[in-house]
Every structure is written in structure tokens, then in C-alpha cells.
Structure 1
């Protein structure tokens, strides 16, 4: 499955700031970062010094300076093989140095290295250690880590309230996917008018229904009004009609959803959302693990022993 091997390649900067002439920002998974020049500035050294550490870390970590920095990284709980994340920004790919690496290098230049601007590093280390590096960057970038989730909950809730009147003897794709959408939001997927999974599911299920002539077994489906909230661009088209299906076919739908859609179609759908930035790759993989959970094993009940 392609999602499982994308690693950090799917990360990108969602907000940036140059306050105090420091290159900083937040990646799409919430990781705060400094650019190399920003890191060098807070450490009070030339950017070429930190750049060599980043690019030649495999060599540098075996030298006296690198060994000390490695100790500080271990103390920060950082165990990645690189000191940076290669991410995408508005000007192309760049090195994003995550918070744990920034603090480890800042501590080294503040207390262990010998250089002319050591006091700058000490002052910045005290500021960041006191206020939390993550909160400092979030504040400088005006980033609210809960905003995407809060907005998604709001938009999902509005749509759910507008479409809660399905006839009792029928089911709708949207309402059946409510638990799926909740899991998507919890996994960090942005739910808005560009991410409407029930459209994808509805189109593929409709073809399956027709191809297998399920109306002959369960009865006719019919179109029922579906309304989008004003916050959705789709609302400008007025009320839509969406298929609703006989409740007797609900078990068939749920089995199809797990065995066909989640296992084969949904990974492709999520890949499009990773590409668009609605969700990052490792969160998409975690979501798939949740939705592709094995079916409960069952067996036929044992025959009764009628012998006396």
C-alpha cells in the first residue's frame, strides 16, 4: 500500500513566520520547526556551521562535537537518523529542523561550544526553555493546533443536523459513514467541502447495486433530498437528491464497505487527500489500520445433541 511508505515526504509547511528575522513555521503534522538560517541565528553562529551538521550528520556524530550533540539529542528523546525533515514550502523543498533538534543544538552552543556569540545562544536557550519551543513557534506563527479539528467537527455536525430525517425503513450513505467521518477527523483529516467521502462511496456502491440487481432482492432505492450547509460551496446549487436504500440491504452494504471499499478503494481516495494536504501520510496509514480491522471470526453454532 503506497501510503505506508511515504514517511516525511508528505509533510509541508502550513504556516510560516519571519518574526525577529527567524525562519520558522509549523508542518502539516503540527511539528514546529526552524529553518537552518533561523537555527544558526538563535545559536549565534554562521549558518554554514549548522548546515554542515545537518548535511554531514553521519560523519559529524562520531566527532567530539557530534558526540556531545548526540547526547543532548538522546536527552530530548530524539532518535531519527537525520537532524532535519525535508519538507515542502511555498518556495519548494527545504530543511525543517524540528523542535528537539533545535533545542539540542541551542543547548550545545550555549554551554559547550566555544564561539564569540555564546551569550546570544544562552539568552535564547533560557527564553525557549522557559516558554516551550513549541508554544513559542505556535504563537509567532499564529497557529492553533486544534483549529483544523474544530472546523471539521463544526462542518460535519452542521451537515448531520440537516440530513437527519431519512425514512426509518431506508438508509443513506452519508449517515452510514458517520462513524468513518468521525475516525477521519480524529486522525487529523480536514473535513470540508473538498473532502466528502460519502460521494466516493455512494458512486461505487450505486454501481455495485445496479450490477448485482439488488433491487430485485431488497426492493427499489429512491432519491431523497440532501442539503449542504451554507459553509459548503455545494450549497449554492440548492438541494441535491441522493439515493437511499432499503434497510433490509444494510447488512450487505456494511459487508461491502469493509471488504471492498475499505480494502481496495479507500486507500486510493486517501492518497488524493494526502496529495491535497487534507491529511498527512502517517495519519492516513493509521486511519487505514483502524478501518481495515479484521472482521470478527464466526462459526456456525454447534448442532444440538438430540440423543437422550
Structure 2
């Protein structure tokens, strides 16, 4: 028998309290390694109450307290902080943190992925409760690809097309794809994997977030300081264009540096060990995250995603 949804938490972007309840159902379910999860028919990925408790290293009752005290006039600090993290992440604060799911006569609570991420972040970094090491380990493992994607992959759910959040990336890529002279490499194309990783974690490039400028400036200083032209030959410039809606487009085309392909190995080593490993990227990212008022755990989630090449491990 397919579960049905009896109560949906308020989502300001889609739910009108004057309209009848949406007839949602559980689209996909799975329980890999005993972690109950699924996807609702509107695409909302969720964990069960017991699942999120297990990931946090807690007994089930502690997550139940969050639900029962969520709308209290004087909620406990756990509820207050989880709501703050949701706000910092840019997510709406639902009227309840869960959806009531019925399977036959049995009821269980389904917690949307955004709520789960906020709860897991709180118990991993701030709560100071027993089990924090378990919460931190699972937080890091899930953060490699994001909880939504983790649940989608585990359940075999294929996300429906949404707003094209990759438009800026594709527009910039189309203008730089074949602009670099043969035998040379450009920074934007070389860090495309990084930009993709950031986007998968929710931080998409736009007119105010141009990571290749930060990387390019730092690499140019390293190139000069290490006299790398003596090893690899002189760098060149090429015409680099920004999409018309970028402020930088006012001065298109701009002369950007490109570097001999023989130096590509050195660039990748420098990028991995110096730019990311020595903390320059973390400082740049922290500034951009702060400008977007995202949660304090966001930088760590990004760094985990960037520095871990393998997929999610089994969560405990």
C-alpha cells in the first residue's frame, strides 16, 4: 500500500493556506544501511525521524522534541538554532519540521532534506551532546554531494527540470570555450570542475561571484614570483568576454592571461596544495558565503566537496 501524506508543512513559496491541501504521495523510498529515506511526489527529499536521529548519534526522542516544541511560544535553544540555520541557508522556515506520512495505519514523520541538514549541522558543531563525533562524521560524508543528491541517488529518483541555475556558467563557458590559443590553457576552463562542485552545493556563479578572477590573480603572482616562464615559456593574452549582463562586459573584450600547456601540471599542483590547501580559497569562499548570509557550516561543506574526489561513503 502506498503511503499518503496527511499534513504538509507551510512553504511560503508554494503553499497558500486558503487552498486545499496538496495530494502528495511518497514517490520513492529506500533504507540503505538502515537509514530510512525517500522522495515525495513534489520532489522533496526526506529522512525519517529515526534516520536523522541515527545520523546525529542521538536517541529518537531528541528529534521528537524538536518537532513537538517547534511552534512553542518559548522554544528550546535547539529549535531556535535549527530555525536560524535554516534561515542562514536561505531556506524557508516551515510551520512544522516534518511531514506526517501514513503507511496503512502506521504514522511516521518525514523530515525534508533542508531541515535534516540544519539539524545535522547543529548537532555536529554546536550542541555539545554525546554523539557529536557521529554527527560530524555523517555531516562530512553527506556533504560531499549534498543530502538531496544523496537521497535521490539512494532511491533512484530522477529530479524534474527546474529553473536553469546553471545559465551563468553555461553563458560564460560558451564565450571562453575556444577563445584560448592552441597550446595554452585558461583559468576559467581549468577550474570548471570547481565551479560545478560549488553549484552542486548551492553556490552558483553570478555577476558578483567570479572565482576564476581570484584564482587567476593568485596564480599570476605565483607565476611571476617563481619565474615559471623560465621553465615553461612565456604566457600570452587572449580576448576574454563576459556575458552582456555582467558589469565586466562594459569593457569587453578583456585581455586575460593564458599559460603554456606544459605548465598545466604545475598549475594543478599549485591549485590543490597552495590555493586550496593553504587556505586562500577558504578565505575567498568565506567572504562570498557571508555576503549571501549562508550557514556557518556551508564553507566546510564546500571544502569537503572540493577536496574529496570519491563519492559518499556508507553513513553510520
Change (3 A) 1:280 1:97: same
Q: Deviation of residue 216 (structure 1)?
A: 1.1
Match of 1:53 among 42, 53, 72: 72
Match of 1:287 in 2: 302
Residue in structure 2 matched with residue 85 of structure 1 by the alignment: 83
User: Are the counterparts in 1 of residues 69 and 76 from structure 2 also a CA contact under 8 Å?
Assistant: no
Residues 240, 19 of structure 1: alpha-carbon distance in 2 compared, 3 angstrom cutoff: same
Query: CA RMSD, aligned part only?
Result: 4.3
Does 1:162 find its partner at 2:175?
Answer: yes
8 Å Cα contact 1:227/1:235 also seen in 2? yes
Identify which of 177, 185, 193 aligns with 1:171: 185
Whole-angstrom CA distance in 2 between matches of 1:15 and 1:234: 35
Provide closer, same or farther for how the CA distance between residues 52 and 231 of structure 1 changes in structure 2, counting only shifts above 3 A. closer
User: 1:146 & 1:280 partners in 2: Cα distance?
Assistant: 26
Query: In the aligned structure 2, how far is the partner of 1:241 from the partner of 1:219?
Result: 19
Whole-Å separation in 2 of the counterparts to 1:278 and 1:224: 36
Verify: 1:100 aligned to 2:100, yes or no. no
1:231 aligned counterpart, secondary structure: coil
- Is the CA contact (8 Å cut-off) linking 1:193 and 1:232 kept in structure 2? yes
Aligned pair in 2 of structure 1 residues 51, 252: CA closer, same or farther (>3 Å)? closer
CA contact under 8 A between 2:184 and 2:260: conserved in structure 1? yes
Cα distance change, pair 18–247 in 1 and its aligned pair in 2 (3 A): closer
C-alpha contact 2:70 2:79 (8 A) present in aligned 1: no
State how 1:4-43 maps to structure 2 within 5 Å.
none
Counterpart secondary structure, 1:249: helix
Contact 2:176 2:240 in 1 (8 A): yes
* Separation in 2, partners of 1:232, 1:280: 27
* 2:175–2:241 contact (8 Å) kept in structure 1: yes
Residues 85, 98 of structure 1: 8 Å contact kept:
no
Question: Which has the higher Rg, Structure 1 or Structure 2?
Answer: 1
Aligned residue number for residue 229 of structure 1: 243
Q: Which runs of structure 2 are paired with 1:143-162 in the superposition (5 Å)?
A: 150-151=164-165, 153-162=166-175
What is the TM-score of this pair, normalised by structure 2? 0.52
Matched, 1:258 2:258: no
> In the alignment, does 2:210 pair up with 1:213?
no
**Distance in 2, Cα, partners of 1:86 & 1:222:** 48
The answer as to whether partners of 2:238 and 2:258 remain within 8 angstroms in 1 is yes
- CA deviations 1:237-261 (Å, max 9, x no partner) are 2211110011111100000000011
Could you say what secondary structure the match of 2:242 adopts?
coil
- The change in CA–CA distance for 1:87 and 1:244 in structure 2 (over 3 A counts) is same
- Give 5+ residue unaligned stretches, structure 2: 1-10, 19-43, 46-67, 101-108, 113-159, 311-316
- 1:184 Cα deviation after fit: 0.9
Which has the larger share of helix? 1
Q: Report the CA distance shift for 1:242/1:88 in structure 2 as closer, same or farther (over 3 A).
A: same
Question: What is the rounded CA distance, in whole Å, between the counterparts of 1:133 and 1:217 in structure 2?
Answer: 56
Contact 1:172 1:243 in 2 (8 A): yes
